[in-house]
Amino acid sequence: MPPAERPAPLMLVVDPGDRSDLPFGSYAAVAHTGQRLLAAELSRRFGALGCAVAPLVPADPPAGERFHWGRWFSAGARAALAAAERARRPVDALGYAGAGSLALADDATLDALISPVRGEVVGNNRYSADAFVVAGDLDAAIVALEQCPSDNLAVRCLKAARFTERDLSASPWSRFDVDTPLDLALLRLATRLPSSRRPEGVVAAFIEMARLPGGRSLEVPHLAEVGEVLRDREAQVVVAGRIPSSAWAYLETESACRVRCFIEERGMRAAPDHAPRSMLADWVARLGPADLVGELTALGDAVILDSRVLMAALAGSSDAATWPPKEERFASDFGDASPIDTPWLAELTAAAAASSVPVLLGGHAMVSDGLRILVDVSWLGR
């Protein structure tokens, strides 16, 4: 718990809001509902630890402009602080958490997050933050964050403004963030592990009962086949994308198979002005997506590919608004090419689904903490 002599932190938790425009049962609707339930759960958990909690609601940028996280956050932060002042609730620590962040983090990790000393920022990941709390000169902190184009950069923006930093990325599951239906499937899979936190009842019920297009449940594709590879000393798994060093090390030490990694564009979402580059995306552009799948599957007995690196590099931007639409991205993660109109992504998805070697497509969660989940689950009952 926060020290008794200090005011409780004010946590701003993203509330994805009502999206009744999303078709019922679509991939995007499942992801949105899951995030909204997780945001409510996280808000309750922060409240139980003594925090004041306020929602941050979505806001569309002005016509013709890109969404700017810092301007949106600073407006919400100032409004929340003004409301706290009117209620005569002193605040000397201000925090932020994305809707799907910290879904597997335990209470000890949350307690560490909300306990900065004056002049310090504590973040779940200094290189790509989804949650942070800053204490001390909150006016200076908000001014610094107002210039920050992405939440992923927040800890570094505050460090540049002379706040000291404390990084919780080594804490178990601190970096696991739910953005997609596949991330929800990984969350559901993690509940099988004896050491992982169990989501609250409403979240647990949702991830068990949710159905994707075609009536499929939230199951990680090719789970059994990938597990066999991870347990096989004679096999090799190929992993490509934004792989943290800790995830690579865990895969190397805790799986039985050999590991081949292609690490590209770590931190690309925290560098919005950087044009992403990828050798694998160049392969797609020159020889086609099916050829890339063929080459990767020739190198190993299972492939785990962070497809968002390809999307960013082919679009020339880390801004997800420039990538294929959410529904197409999410469908691709489950090997469903039918709703995909983007030609290269439809070809990649179809080739992965047709491969004789299991190919998992997904985002950052899959190649970070998701790798640990896959490895640990593969050994259950063995």
For 177-217, what is each residue's pLDDT tens digit?
999 999 999 999 999 999 889 999 999 999 999 999 999 99
Give the pLDDT confidence score for residue 235 in this predicted structure.
Answer: 98
Buried (b) or exposed (e) across 345-363, using 16+ Cβ within 10 A?
A: bbbbbbbbbebebbbbbbb
What single-letter DSSP state applies at residue 347?
A: H
Phi, psi of 7 (to 5 degrees): -60, 150
- What tens digit of pLDDT does each residue of 78-135 get? 999 999 999 999 999 999 999 999 999 999 999 999 999 999 999 999 888 999 999 9
Domain ranges of the chain: 10-167, 222-378
**What CATH fold (topology level) applies to the domain 10-167?**
Spore Coat Polysaccharide Biosynthesis Protein SpsA; Chain A (3.90.550)
Please, which pLDDT band fits residue 271 given cuts at 50, 70 and 90?
low
Give the pLDDT confidence score for residue 381 in this predicted structure.
Answer: 65
| Mean per-residue pLDDT of the chain | 93
- What tens digit of pLDDT does each residue of 217-247 get? 999 999 999 999 999 999 999 999 999 988 9
Give the pLDDT confidence score for residue 127 in this predicted structure.
Answer: 85
- Amino acid identity of residue 294, one-letter, is G
- C-alpha angle 201/202/205, rounded to 5°? 80
Tokens 């100032």 label which residue?
78
What is the reported pTM?
0.94
